[in-house]
Every structure is written in structure tokens, then in C-alpha cells.
Amino acid sequence: MKLAFSTLGVPGLPLNDVLALATAHGYHGVELRAHPEEPVHPGLTPAQRSDVVAAFKASGVELLGLAGYARVAAPGEDEPVLTEIRALLDLARDLGAPFVRVFPGGGTEQSPEEADATAARRLGTAAEYAADLDVRILLETHDSHRTGADAMRILGLVGHRQVGALWDVMHTWVGGEQPVESYAALSPHLGYVQVKDIASADETAPLPLGDGVLPLSDVVEVLSRHAWDGWLCWEYEKRWYEDAAPLPGLLTPGREHLTRLLNESA
């Protein structure tokens, strides 16, 4: 498995500095938070996009994916959501990113069946566009569909190879799933895995990997047992928790912790 970290942990940091951190601390790749407050987002010009490609090439670091914020199950008209996804897919194509992340984002005014159908309809439409660009849309286990079983209700309706799953291990665990259950649900569609650590289900401020309660060893064990050979991406949510320790000083210990878990599961 290859290791990456998300720029959610270093909000607003210039791309060259992000890539320097990845190189210095031994990470294979980076997940870019594709938001207007970040250096890389769908509003970039063609020249700026070319500069991003050149920076990644020069660093030797891989671009794992773009973390977008489209909410595919949200109430309302389809077209604004599809427009947002298409813009993210275009950016991914231009940058050479294999994946884009979307959220479920179902509303409480919907029934679960309505949210599932809305998300599946939008993802099915977006999948055809994604196929032309050779980019894969990943539905994250999050908010209204936080478990693998929840996400599969949508993915089973879509049934398209360009639409898969992003397994956020915190959300599936908080939702009551064990890693073996989450993997069983998501494995046919799994794009990559986001790892993190927290103090408890009620205290979700980011902690150094291994300092919290999330069953990271079980996650790595089940992935290794099934010979899954994808990405583990550390999503350290510094952007939402200003008091959290700065990520750069944690990157090497975090990589060492994940490497140790991988070696123990080999």
C-alpha cells in the first residue's frame, strides 16, 4: 500500500511547500482539498493547471485525488450539483488525478429512499462524463451515509465502474461498523482509504495516528488479508480544529505508525 496525506491538515499552504513536506517525510502522494480557499481548485486557469502538473512531476510525488464538496444526495435541482461535479472532473483530468471525492449530503427532510435515489441518479449521470475523462468519482462514507452499508445503497443503484467508494474509517466506526464489515461492503467499489485518529465518537478533534481509539490496526489487517494494494491517505482535519497540533511535525511519526501496522499485517 502507498501512503498519502490530505492538504486538509495544512490549510492554505502553497503547493510547493505541500510537496516538499511529502518528500521530506516519505509520503508517496497527496490528496488535494479542492476548495477556493486552497491553492488548487476548479477556478484555476489552464496555465495555472499546467504549473500544478509541473510541480508534481518535479517533486516525484503523486496526486492521489481531489477532495471536492459536491453533495450528491442533497435536496434540490440536479443541475447545480452536476455542474459542480463536472468542474471537479475537468480539473482532475487536467491535473492527472485518478479520483475525485464527493459527499452524500442527504437532508433530514428526505426519506432515506429519496436520498438514495437522488444520489444514484446524479452519480449515474456524472459517471458518463467521468468515463470520457478517465476519472473515477468516489462517494465518501460521510454524513447521511456514513457506513459502508449506507454507501452501498447508493452504489448498488448506480452500478457504474466510474463511481466507487472512499472509505473514511472514522465515519464507518462512529456509525457502528467494524472494519471487516465496512471492507466487505465497500471492497467491490473501493477507490482508497482515509485514515485518522480521534479520542472518542464525541471528541473528533484530530490526534496523531495511534493516539486515539480508531481501529487502524484492524483496518490495515483486513486490507492486507485481502491483498488490497491501494492508498492509505491520512486526513488530519486541522482546517476545522485550530487548536490541533500542527501536522508537519506529526508526518514522520504518522508514516512510521502506518508502516509498522503494514509490516505487522504482512
pLDDT at position 69 is: 97
Residue pair 31/10 in contact (Cβ under 8 Å)? The answer is no
CB 50 within 8 A of CB 16: no
Cα–Cα distance measured from residue 100 to residue 159, given in angstroms and rounded to the nearest whole number = 17
Look up residue 67 and give its DSSP letter. E
φ, ψ of residue 264 in degrees (nearest 5): -70, -25
pLDDT of amino acid 108: 86
In single-letter form, the type of residue at position 238 comes to K
Q: Which three cell numbers stand for residue 37?
A: 480557499
Taking the C-alpha atoms of residue 182 and residue 124, their distance in angstroms, rounded to an integer, is 23
**Residue 207 backbone zone (phi > 0: left; psi -120 to 50: alpha; other: beta):** beta
Q: Which residues contact 242 (CB under 8 A, 6 or more apart)?
A: none
Q: Are 44 and 88 in contact (CB under 8 A)?
A: no
Distance CA 129, CA 115 (A): 22
Task: Round to whole Å and give the CA distance between 207 and 247.
Answer: 10
Angle ∠(37,79,119) on CA atoms, nearest 5: 90
pLDDT at residue 162 in the model: 97
- Of all helices (H) and strands (E), which one includes residue 137? strand 136-140
Please, what sign has the CA dihedral across residues 205, 210, 212, 217?
Answer: positive
Residue 109 pLDDT: 86
* pLDDT tens, residue order, the chain (266 aa): 999 999 999 999 999 999 999 999 999 999 999 999 999 999 999 999 999 999 999 999 999 999 999 999 999 999 999 999 999 999 999 999 999 999 999 988 899 999 999 999 999 999 999 999 999 999 999 999 999 999 999 999 999 999 999 999 999 999 999 999 999 999 999 999 999 999 999 999 999 999 999 999 999 999 999 999 999 999 999 999 999 999 999 999 999 999 999 999 87
Closest CA to 53 of 67, 63, 65: 63
Grid cell 490549510 is found at 11
* Identity at 168, one-letter amino acid code: D
3-state secondary structure (DSSP) of residue 231:
strand
Q: Name the amino acid, one letter, at 194.
A: Q
Q: In angstroms, rounded to a whole number, what is the distance separating the alpha carbons of residues 68 and 87?
A: 10
Q: Which fold does the domain 2-265 belong to in CATH?
A: TIM Barrel (3.20.20)
Nearest Cα to 25, choosing from 36, 39, 40, 9?
A: 9
